[in-house]
Structure 1
Amino acid sequence: MDKKTILIFKVCAAALWANEKMGKQERDYVGNLIERFAEDEKGKNLLRKLQTQDINLKVLESEIEDLSKDDKQFIFEECFGIITSDKVLDIPDIKFLKDLKKVCGIENRYYRNRIKEARIYKGVKIKRNLKIFVAIGMVIWIAILFLPRSFSKKDFKELLRENIKKESVNINVLSEWDITGRKKLSAGEIYASMRKSVVTVYVKEGDKRVSQGTGSIIGEGENDYYILTNKHVIESRKSKIKEPQNYEIKLYTGARFDARLDFYSRKRDLALLRARIPEEYVGIIKISPKKYQNVGDRVYSLGTPIGMTNTFTEGIISALRDEYIQTDATIFFGNSGGPLINEYAELIGIVTQSFLFKDYSFAIYSDKITDLLKEKEE
């Protein structure tokens, strides 16, 4: 492992301990970093050891200054991802980011936009002053005593449990018998084929849209079609959601339909919505497992990055990691939950992470869809 990679991970480790505590989301994020940065078990053990050390940003400043502009941007994005992964920015987090911004030469305008994007698209909240939070806590406590009971997280889970439809979801998974006779399609043919299978997902509070992502129509039940997306798309502001069917999907034609949250995984960043859609608007996407994918294969993404519907990009499989497909296809906020597609117009992955100014993003293997459906039936 080269010195630059180790330095980048050290800065990420410093970000991890910016507020002297590490939550589950931050542990998961760093676990993903280790998976991506290390090529073998020896490298993983080295990074795990670094992860536990008390590393101060001040000590690393001179080394960071020697890096290229792109590497500095990369470091800032990785650290920003770690610090916002728990969806809270407290005073130590903000101080670390401001110090890192200065060391990496990040412009103030860009920094402010990243904070804004995190709040809008990831539901990140900023913790400001403890006294303010104590005062708010007192108000909430009084409200609990004297006002009608509010809709709690437990209520949400209970309603979701009642909402799960006890029916089999019919999906189309590629088998060894299907391999022979398949024909590679052009980019234009893939786009035309996939449009009916990909939707924009909106999370709503009343009539107001509070966040969005992308989804794929993966199967059908007796009356409903099932849409796969990321869990973080549907729960970005879950604490404010008043009822589980407060979702909307938009098709490539612009037609909109109400959707219902059917299930989300306790183990993976995956969720299922269901909706009643006229059959002529729908195309069910075929699922291609990990064993049929290879590094260098051409892949495509179709989704709604930053509100731009029906955006189609292409790239290759850069690496097949243990848990994720790594690709250089251009992916941005709003693509989350959307499909990564091969040259046969088959779903090979579910987009889950992207990084600005770097030629890589990550997708969950399509094999996990069957695991999700088994989990739903448990």
Structure 2
Amino acid sequence: MLSFSTPYRLIRPLLFTLDAERAHNLSIAALRMMPTPRPLPTDPMLETTVAGIRFPNPVGLAAGYDKDGRVAHKMHGLGFGFAELGTLTPLAQPGNPQPRLFRLVEDRAVINRFGFNNGGQGAAADRIARYRRPRGEGPVIGINIGANKDATAAGRGIADYVTGVTCMAPLADYLTVNISSPNTPGLRALQGRAALDDLLGAVMAARGSDTTQNGGRVPPIFLKVAPDLEPADVEDIAAACIDHRIDALIVSNTTITRPALQSAHAGETGGLSGAPLTDLSQARLKDFRRLLGTKLPLIGVGGIANGAQAYARIRAGASLVQLYSALVYEGPYLAKRINAELKMLMIRDGVRNIADLVGVDI
């Protein structure tokens, strides 16, 4: 019997003969040619509401795959309940020199040092506006915003986030403030308490609460953090999120740590994602859940490749989960498989709705 992943496993050896970034670009091109699917049907077991947004299922596409917003509106056709595009910066920038994306096959991992390569928020906004439908009628789309490399280096990063909010708020179901990439110098310094207070204060003021602003949209603001945090960092970030009324916290981005790895590319610089990130990301999620309780929704990201791992992340406190690197090894229909596996586990445990699972292990 064929599974969701069987056809992909047949062609994966051929794809792996290509440079990783070229294979990535080919997948975007293929999805651009795919007709826009119909909305996902409602599933009472998997449907959930987070930050006022109804998600048809809890499995989302993480930022980094669709950097310029070319195919996010089609990802529900692959089973995703939502898709987060970006990271988008105010100005177009080429990112770091190639090669900058590496498969670590033996470790089922990926290292990237893209450096926020994208065509800029203006070009993306025009593109997204052409396919966006009224809120509630299309797939849930988050927009991940960041700062240009030159602005961050010059200490003007906060202004870039304000620009991102102003530009992208009319088009987003939610906005993610990304301060966790290891590939833009100085970016992670914004996770410090004083800098984070300045940033979140400016971002929330730019977002506003008046529905006459930002084209009538007041999207929730999510914050995305790194897994490489000390206990004091976790406490500061949790407190800042509450103080500034952030709507959700995404835990976590890639890691700069290097656990025991077997692959030839293990020594490459950049952010490590995939299977080696599973335990670290889950640990940080649990840390934030213990501190925050139910005060703030959490979104679990990092090393999720099957339904059991998604189930564990939800039980550890995640209201939603996201994935990206696992698609490299499991294929494009991984989200459908994870949702099917989640339902099987819920039926086994007598759970009627996915929201009932959130944080039961903490």
Report which of the two structures shows the higher radius of gyration computed on alpha carbons: 1
Query: Do they fold alike, i.e. is TM over 0.5?
Result: no
Bigger relative CO (Cα 8 Å, ≥ 6 apart):
2
TM-score, L = length of structure 1: 0.28
